[in-house]
Structure 1
Amino acid sequence: MNNSNQTLTIKEQLQACRSKEETFKTLVTLSKTLPRLSSEEKTEENKVKGCESAVWLIVEESNGIRHFNADSDAKLMRGVLVAILSLVEGKSIADIQQIDLKAELAELNLSSYLTSSRTNGVLAILEKIQATKQ
């Protein structure tokens, strides 16, 4: 695996993309860094409703800090999940609720990939991330 991008944050990597193709390649590369969920974790309860692709999101809380595991059957969505989770992983629910996730995502050059149906799915993911109850 090419580690030259490891020093750049995910946000910086995506902002550095100058074309739709470059953004796509970056998302596919990022998708490979997301650990796969087991078939036991891919439950209806963990499935995010409203996504065009199948997306599963597990939210765990430990000492007030949230940790996320996610997966999708679509490579592009897996890359988008990596980008989203990079904004919230290891933060408290209070901190997560202070973040304007929609504005943060808008800065990541993803709009050309978020069709209206994908955008609905991403919004459902953001809602689940920011929900106070599991």
Structure 2
Amino acid sequence: MTDPLGQQRPIDIKAQLQACRSKEDTFKTLVMLSKTQPRLTAEEKTEDNKIKGCESAVWLIIEEKDGLRHFKADSDAKLMRGVLVAILSLVKGKSLADIQQMDLKAELAELNLSSYLTSSRTNGVLAILDKITSH
């Protein structure tokens, strides 16, 4: 199912990833999800928006409207774009206080991504979570 903007709902993304029964299924699902993530413009891919510590180049923009957080993100790697879709599905449209109340690491653990989160990717994901929860 999609929301009015054509984006997949978080529960659907979670269900899709949890339904994966192999590393290949998870990879295909992440690549498919990566195609739903709008790309950032060259002007948005600034050093200020770049996440430090990621294996791939990752940019994250946080915007707040009416107390709710909205995110724009991109990566030079399809797999990481898929991971971004999964992460952002958990937090988009929530307030910073609500996001800070969440156990995002536990939520991510439920998404069946562990085989793709190598130590260097895990560092990048932790840096993304830090930016999401601290700004």
TM-score computed with the length of structure 1 as normaliser:
0.92
- SS across alignment from 1:37: coil
Question: 1:49: Cα distance to partner?
Answer: 0.4
Structure 2 unaligned runs (5+)? 1-7
- Residue in 2 aligned with 1:96? 99
Match of 1:44 among 47, 62, 83: 47
Q: What SS does the corresponding residue of 1:71 show, helix, strand or coil?
A: strand
| Cα distance in structure 1, aligned partners of 2:74 and 2:64 | 18
How far, CA to CA, are the matches of 2:35 and 2:85 in structure 1? 9
Structure 1 residues 82-103: Cα deviation after superposition (integer angstroms, max 9, x where no partner): 0000000000001100110000
Between Structure 1 and Structure 2, which shows a larger proportion of helix residues?
2
Matched residues in 2 for 1:80 and 1:35: separation? Answer: 14
SS in 1 for 2:117: coil
2:4 matched to which residue of 1? none
Would you say how many aligned residue pairs link Structure 1 and Structure 2? 127
Which amino acid is the alignment partner of residue 24 of structure 1? F
Pick from 116, 124, 129 the counterpart of residue 126 of structure 1. 129
CA offsets 1:27-78 (integer angstroms, 9 cap, x no match):
0000000000000000000000000000000000111100000000000000
The CA RMSD over aligned residues, in Å, is 1.1
Structure 2 residue 34 is matched with structure 1 residue 31:
yes
Stretches of 4+ aligned residues off by more than 6 angstroms:
none
Unaligned ranges ≥5, structure 1: 1-5
Secondary structure (helix, strand or coil) at the match of 1:9 reads helix
Q: Say which SS state the counterpart of residue 61 (structure 2) adopts.
A: strand
Distance 1:62 1:54 in 2: 27
1:15 matches 2:18: yes
Q: Provide the rounded CA distance (Å) in 2 between the counterparts of 1:62 and 1:50.
A: 28
The percentage of counterpart residues that share the same residue type is: 82
Partner of 2:68: 65
Q: CA deviation at 1:107?
A: 0.5
1:74: which partner in 2?
A: 77
Which amino acid in the other structure matches residue 71 of structure 1?
Answer: D
1:85 matched to 2:91? The reply is no
CA distance in 2, matches of 1:74, 1:94: 30
User: Aligned partners of 1:64, 1:130: CA distance in 2, in Å?
Assistant: 14
Which residue, 106, 110, 123 being the options, matches 1:107?
110
